[in-house]
């Protein structure tokens, strides 16, 4: 008997060097992904990273897994296609708050309702970092940026409430300020049998607000476990999610205690049902084949 193959975080790390700004939260997210995948133990060739456009969307190139850097906002439909084409792949989607909840916002609801077994990780920095600091969908009201010197007039989107309201079976939030906690949440999300969403507060050190740095996160964050939250309580999860932007809660907001069948599993059942049915013969086709 041969010993089972084990993997280390470095096995998922490519030779391409990240070019994020020094101190960017995405460095921590990338390390967390390496560690989570090593713990899960799937070889790199059984993993696919799909991304859109943005700082966080560079992640596929920094891994040894399959990767596809798609167009802005379209990572979710492409990831769903990849998973349906090869259900055995472990599919992870990496994106930012602008990519996911602005141009790509319409895709989130359908990914949730289909419940395809993919993990969607959003690096939420409340600003468009790659394009030099414009407002994003999650920017707080009043935020001043290069394109809004007088401050934003709009209320931000709440990503946690967004996916919870559409019925996502797994919803969590993390920060690179707590690497062990974030890594554990990423691993748990990947292992969840269905659509899983992790919002990671990943501060932009160049264009973000001063109070969004990792050292502030460490002092501000509160774990949902320390509050005694039961992840099976969906209504309480939605109530806690309302504090997005004012409190930094980390942990699992909601985990469906009775996960429904994923889209891929339903397809297999449908195929099995159809194969059992006696199909009527096509007389026209039979006549053609007999010529």
Question: Where residue 272 sits, what CATH number does that domain have?
Answer: 3.40.50.970
Quote the pTM value: 0.91
Asked if the structure places residue 224 within a domain, the reply is: yes
Sign of dihedral through CA atoms 46, 50, 56, 61? positive
Asked if the structure places residue 3 within a domain, the reply is: no
Q: How many separate domains does the chain show? A: 1
- Maximum Cα interatomic distance, the chain, rounded to a whole number of Å: 81
Asked if the structure places residue 4 within a domain, the reply is: no
Asked if the structure places residue 165 within a domain, the reply is: yes
Asked if the structure places residue 2 within a domain, the reply is: no
Asked if the structure places residue 250 within a domain, the reply is: yes
Asked if the structure places residue 68 within a domain, the reply is: yes
Asked if the structure places residue 236 within a domain, the reply is: yes
User: 98 lies in which domain range?
Assistant: 9-289
Show pLDDT as tens, one digit a residue, over the chain (291 residues): 666 778 999 999 999 999 998 888 899 999 999 999 999 999 999 999 999 988 888 999 999 999 999 988 899 999 999 999 999 999 999 999 888 888 888 899 999 999 999 999 999 988 887 777 788 888 888 888 888 888 888 899 999 999 999 999 999 999 999 999 999 999 999 999 999 999 999 888 888 776 668 888 888 999 999 999 999 999 999 999 999 999 999 999 999 999 999 999 999 998 888 887 766 666 666 666 566
């Amino acid at each position: 008997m041969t010993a089972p193959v084990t993997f280390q975080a470095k096995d998922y790390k490519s030779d391409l060097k990240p070019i994020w700004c020094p101190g960017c939260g995405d460095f921590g997210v990338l390390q967390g992904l390496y560690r989570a995948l090593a713990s899960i133990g799937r070889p790199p060739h059984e993993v696919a990273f799909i991304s859109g456009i943005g700082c966080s969307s560079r992640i596929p190139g920094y891994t040894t897994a399959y990767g596809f850097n798609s167009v802005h906002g379209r990572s979710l439909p492409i990831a769903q296609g990849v998973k349906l084409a090869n259900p055995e792949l472990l599919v992870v989607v990496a994106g930012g708050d602008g990519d996911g909840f602005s141009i790509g916002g319409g895709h989130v609801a359908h990914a949730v309702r289909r419940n395809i077994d993919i993990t969607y990780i959003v690096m939420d920095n409340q600003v468009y970092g790659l394009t030099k600091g414009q407002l994003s969908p999650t920017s707080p009201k009043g935020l001043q940026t290069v394109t809004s010197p007088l401050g934003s007039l709009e209320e931000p989107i709440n990503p946690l409430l967004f996916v919870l309201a559409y019925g996502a079976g797994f919803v969590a939030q993390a920060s690179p300020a707590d690497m062990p906690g974030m890594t554990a949440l990423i691993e748990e999300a990947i292992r969840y049998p269905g659509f899983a969403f992790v919002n990671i507060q990943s501060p932009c050190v160049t264009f973000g607000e001063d109070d969004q740095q990792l050292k502030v996160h460490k002092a501000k964050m509160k774990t949902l476990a320390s509050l005694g939250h039961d992840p099976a309580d969906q209504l309480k999860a939605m109530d806690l999610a309302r504090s997005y932007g004012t409190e930094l809660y980390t942990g699992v907001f909601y985990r469906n205690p009775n996960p429904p069948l994923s889209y891929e599993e339903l397809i297999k059942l449908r195929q099995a049902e159809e194969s059992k049915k006696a199909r009527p013969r096509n007389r026209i086709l039979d006549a053609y084949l007999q010529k």
